[in-house]
Every structure is written in C-alpha cells, then in structure tokens.
Amino acid sequence: MQNLEQLQLLINEELAKINYPNSPKQLYQPIQYALELGGKRMRPMLILLAHQLFNDDLIKAISPALAIEVFHNFTLLHDDIMDNAPIRRGKKTVHEKWNKNIAILSGDVMMIQTYQLMLKVDSDISKDILDIFSKAATQVCEGQQWDMDFETQNDVPLSDYMKMIENKTAVLLAASLQIGGITANTSKENQNHLYHFGLNMGIAFQLKDDLLDAFGNPDEFGKQVGGDIIANKKTFLYLKALQLANDKQKESLVNSFETQEQTEQKVIGVKTIFTDLDIPKYTKDMMKAYYTKAMKHLDAIDSDNKAPLIAFSKKLMDRIS
C-alpha cells in the first residue's frame, strides 16, 4: 500500500508521460504549462486512495486518475478566464501568459482528453465510470454558473451558496472516490460511503478556500488574496457576515459588493468587518461540522486499509484548524 507522498509522486510521473504533439505549439504548450504548475493532485489521489482500500494493484485506477486531473485543470483554465484571475499557483494564469482565446481552445482539448483517458478503463466498468463522471462534470458547470449568477444577485440565501459549492467543488471529489471504488470492484454500499465522504470533505475544503482567499498568505495560497472580494463573490464569509452585521456594517458590505472597485482599500474594509464579526471562527466551525459528517462515512466503509485515507483527512483537518 502506498502512502500519500508515494501516490502524489506516482501521479506526477504518469502525468509527465503524457505526450503532446509539438504542433500547433500554442495549443499544446499551455496544456503542459497548466499541468506542470503542480497543485496538490487531490482528485487523482482520491481515486487511488479509494482503489487501494480494496486492491493494492493501482494499474486499473491510473487512467481515470489522470483523466480527473486533466479535467480539473481544464476547469481552472476556464474559471480563471471568467474570474479575470492573474495568478494560479503563484504563476501567471494561461490566459495571462498567452491570451483568452488560446486558453479556451487549450481547455477544450483537455476536456476531450479527459474522456479519452476515462475510456481506457476495462469495458465492464466504463459505463458506470462515465455516468458518474459526466454527472459530476455537469454539476461542476452548474455550480460555476450559480457562482457567476451570485456576483450580480443581491439576495443570495446561504443555503443556495452551500448548494453551489457542493456542485462546483465537492461533487468532483466525491465522484473521484466513487470511481476509485468502482475500479477496485467494491460493493455499492462502499461506493456510496466513499461518495458521501468526499462530498462532505469537499464542502469543508471549499469553505477553507473561501477563508484563505480573504485571510491567506499570498505566497502560500498561490492566488491573489482578496480576489473574491474584488470580484464581488458572495462567499460563505460574506453571507454569514450579512446575517450577523448591524445596520451600519450591512450597509457597508452591500455597498462594497455593488461597486466594481478593485482597490486594496475595498479588500481591507470588507476584511475588517469580517474580523469584527468573528467570521473566520464561524467558517472554521462549519468546516469542522462537515468534516465530522465525512468521517462517519469513512468509518462505515468496510476495509482494513484506511490508513492513507485517514492521513489524507487529517491533512485537511490540519488545514482547517
């Protein structure tokens, strides 16, 4: 059984083996650039972690693991365009390094490649895997659309926001784990627990991402700190603050998020209100609640090989403590 570091190394080695054509250079170079930016490789690791709960031979899980990582990076290319994000993992985003048209087209190729890699699984499980992946991929797009809708919608219920992050972030983590269960040929019951473990863990992860966007270290976070505030994104922090704010604070928050101002002063003003209302603590408490739900599903999985997945969960818990 391989540990987290070994699995991450394996994924990076397998990604490096993907051969892209030399021409057209401006179509394939951005794909290689995006994949070489690194990242935690969380989604492919979850496929491999789930698979080795029941089967130490990872060969059958490698191709869908690569597929899920290519797909995830495809979504980042297009998300960065929609968000006008200048930085990804501490380096220029693809549309900044090249241009938006190139980033869109390179992303399209990555989407096609995702299905090519998914189809390399055994034929007897290919339909189940494609059904799960296609549903999750559609939900990711729905989540992204809701995310953009919320930028211009003044009355976003907190429950709608939670549904949005479930779709945009959590379902892909959940699907990754379930796909790993399928490649290992485990029971439907285990697959269901894997899925809901990932769903709850994914929500906790996205809440942490919201928190880091406002309060993270830019060198460690790898993205522009305050980007959600600048883009007027109604994150958990903002919506919770509206629930707790007095009239003056609420007016200030609403006014800040109705302007297209992109200044440090705007970010500082909003963060000051968040801090005064103890929003970071509320966010962490919510994250821990979802983490607890996730661990109940992990406990219910019938396997004696949970150590690496438990270690993965603890890493996330360290991230939210």
Q: Which residues contact 275 (CB under 8 A, 6 or more apart)?
A: none
C-alpha distances in Å from residue 293, one per residue of 10, 83, 257, 287, 305: 30, 31, 33, 10, 20
For every residue of 43-82, DSSP letters joined together read HHHHHHHHHTTT-S--HHHHHHHHHHHHHHHHHHHHHHHH
Write down the pTM of the prediction: 0.90
Q: Which residues contact 37 (CB under 8 A, 6 or more apart)?
A: 88, 89, 91
| Rounded CA separation 193/294 (Å) | 9
**Looking at residue 64, what is its pLDDT?**
98
- For the chain, give every domain's residue range: 4-320
Write down the pLDDT at residue 321: 46
Q: What is the pLDDT of residue 67?
A: 98
DSSP letter for 93, please.
-
Query: Which two tokens mark 75?
Result: 């979504």
Per-residue pLDDT of the chain (321 residues; tens, 9 = 90+): 888 899 999 999 999 999 999 999 999 999 999 999 988 899 999 999 999 999 999 999 999 999 999 999 999 999 999 988 898 888 999 999 999 999 999 999 999 999 999 999 999 999 999 999 999 999 999 999 998 888 788 889 999 999 999 999 999 999 999 999 999 999 999 999 999 999 999 999 899 989 999 998 766 655 567 888 988 889 999 999 999 999 999 999 999 998 888 788 999 999 999 999 999 999 999 999 999 999 999 999 999 889 888 888 888 766 554
Question: Tokens 């962490």 — which residue?
Answer: 284
Tell me the CATH architecture of domain 4-320. Answer: Orthogonal Bundle (1.10)
